[in-house]
Amino acid sequence: MVTRDLNTDEFDGEVSFAGDLVSMPIEDLLGWLSTSTNSGRLVLEGSDHTKTLFVNKGRLTAASSTNPREFLGHYLVGWDVVTEKELDNLFLMRKEHDTLIGQLLISLGLVTPNRLEEILTFVTHELIYEMFDWPGGQFRFVLGKTPAKQFLPLKIDLQAIILEGVRRRDEIKGLRSVIPSDHCRPRSRASVDVNALTADNLGQVREYGGSLTITELAISNQTSSFVMLERIVNEVRSGEVEILKPKEAPEESWTKSLKGMRLHAEECFGRGQLLESWKTVEQLVLEYAKTSDIVQLAADLMDNIHEAANQRISTRETVLDLAVPLTTLKDYECTANEGFLLSRLDGRQTVAAILPQIPGDATVNLLIMIDLIDRGLLKSVT
């Protein structure tokens, strides 16, 4: 279902266009976005992750994702731009100097502006291409919302992304018939004549020892999993490479590891996704409740999130109300807690007066309010 209940000329910072990705596939949605003269953000919610695209008159300038494997930090470490220790220090410096990771990378001489733009463009492209495989999801376009801090605005051609995204989706089925998963491990056959290989393939084949997955090979070669998959499938078909199944006992999920959860919480906090950051810290506490250093780290992160939330909303002064017509709420996916919170708002009471009426932790409920504002469902009327 696609809804057009609001006049785009009358609302700034409110949902003007919403629907689902079954009725309006991602390529159609991006096509509409590329021809629009509006500026704002497109929020897309899949079954596992939420992504936000920021546009300025049809040009994509920035993007974000709640998927830890699509964070800038994941690529910076994987591509040996920085070490994990350096990334940790960058997070600390970002908080101390109230700046962005990109600014710090350049000012410290860790990367050139051109190289940073290349990395950001690559990450943004892959973030969008992944959505072409989504079986469904919800979307909403919010007028006038741009990142509070944007050090290096990108200029990405959405039409080119649409063409490549559709191509990848059309080809993936054939590729998967040869290699069913990116967790599979390629291994060079003993009969391969290394001296006869092209320069482009030589580096990859030397890494095909049967221990690295396609995902790991993609990171080490600074390319996408899809491009790596294409290369390896061609080599499988030519007889140069054989495929080993994923290990029977896979390593701990990256997103549930200490490194993954901490990075996820830090990245979300840096992007202003305070509710997601808080949820990740809570998971961190549950997983590592017996480790005092990690519990203290989690407590510090929670303090930072709480402080940031109070800076976003003055509970004693702010009055919130619905930013969309009441009749359209059914078009949005909301949890029971979100639905109950929305039912309490009347556009007259302050946040401080509303919070005691809502069951559960007051900080979490405040973070839910901020999240609903960011999603374009609530607005401040004071």
DSSP 43-66: EEE-SS-EEEEEEETTEEEEEEES
Contact at 8 Å (CB) between 236 and 178? yes
Section 8-25 average pLDDT: 67
Q: Each residue of 224-251: b (16+ CB within 10 Å) or e?
A: bbbebbbbbbebbeeebbebeeeeeeee
H-only helix segments in the chain: 26-35, 72-78, 84-97, 101-107, 113-129, 158-176, 199-207, 214-220, 225-237, 258-271, 274-287, 292-312, 336-344, 351-354, 362-374
Judging by beta carbons within 10 Å of its beta carbon (0-12, 13-18, 19+), is residue 216 exposed, middle or buried? middle
Q: Which helix (H) or strand (E) holds 133?
A: none
Residue 153 vs residue 51, higher pLDDT = 51
367 SS3 class = helix
Q: Does the pLDDT value for residue 205 go beyond 90?
A: no
Q: What b/e string do you get for 65-79 counting C-beta neighbours within 10 Å, with b at 16 or more?
A: bbbbbbbbbbbbbee
Whether pLDDT at 263 is above 80: no
Residue 29 pLDDT level (bands cut at 50, 70, 90): very high
Both structure tokens of 323: 């930013």
Is 201 in contact with 231 (CB distance < 8 Å)?
Answer: yes
CB 322 within 8 A of CB 5: no
- At 264 the pLDDT is 78
Q: Point out the least confidently predicted range of 171-185, 287-301, 324-338, 358-372.
A: 324-338
The single-letter DSSP state of residue 154 is -
- Residues 46, 135 contacting (CB under 8 angstroms): no
CA separation for the pair 371, 282 (Å, rounded): 17
CB 239 within 8 A of CB 188: no
119-149, pLDDT tens digit by residue? 999 999 999 999 999 998 988 888 875 555 5
pLDDT tens track for 331-354: 777 787 888 888 888 889 999 999
Q: Which of 64, 131, 66 is nearest to 101 (CA)?
A: 64
The pairing of beta strand 320-322 with beta strand 378-380: antiparallel
pLDDT at position 26 over 80 = yes
| CA count, 13 A, side-chain hemisphere, 150 | 16
Average pLDDT over residues 219-237: 92
Picking from 156, 152, 232, 221, the residue whose alpha carbon sits closest to that of residue 188 is 232
233 or 300, greater pLDDT: 233
Could you read off the pLDDT of 69-82 as tens digits, one per residue?
888 888 888 899 98
Closest CA to 377 of 328, 313, 306, 305: 328
Residue 223's contacts (CB-CB under 8 Å, 6 or more residues apart) are none
Tokens at 87, concatenated: 């990334």
Q: What is the mean pLDDT of residues 4-31?
A: 68
Q: What is the largest CA-CA distance in the chain?
A: 77
Nearest to 57 by CA among 177, 144, 131, 160: 144
